[in-house]
Amino acid sequence: MVLEIESTAHYTEVVTQAAGLPIVIDFFATWCGPCVMIKPIFETISHEYEGKAVFIKIDVDKCEELSAQFGIQAMPTFIVVKGGAPAATMKGANPEGLKKFVADNTK
């Protein structure tokens, strides 16, 4: 399951509730074609890692503060957060690359 973050406070709440699990973030925009294309892949991966990682998506237009905090400059950008800090970043809508990125960074 992929949870859509609505605010910085909501993000902080999700990080707190993650209980040490890695958090995989999809920074996206509704008008971004590659973001729309990769969305079902991200959702499929989230089901494969249920209980092993938390999957969230953040709309860069709705959550500008979080986008700035993470230095987002291109969409989609995927970030794995471990222990509250970014641990790995991937840019672009590459389905096979995303699967490998998640596999490598959620161990």
CATH number of the domain where residue 80 is located: 3.40.30.10
Share of the chain above pLDDT 70, in %: 100
Give me the domain span that covers residue 50: 2-105
- Indicate the number of domains in the chain: 1
Average model confidence (pLDDT) for the chain?
A: 96
Cα gap 53→26, rounded to integer Å: 13
Please list the active-site residues. 32, 35
Residue 12's closest CA among 73, 61, 81?
81
pLDDT tens across 35-64, in order? 999 999 999 999 999 999 999 999 999 999
Prediction pTM value: 0.96
Confidence band of 31 (pLDDT split at 50, 70, 90): very high
pLDDT tens across 79-100, in order? 999 988 999 999 999 999 999 9
pLDDT, position 19 = 83
What does the longest C-alpha to C-alpha distance in the chain come to?
33
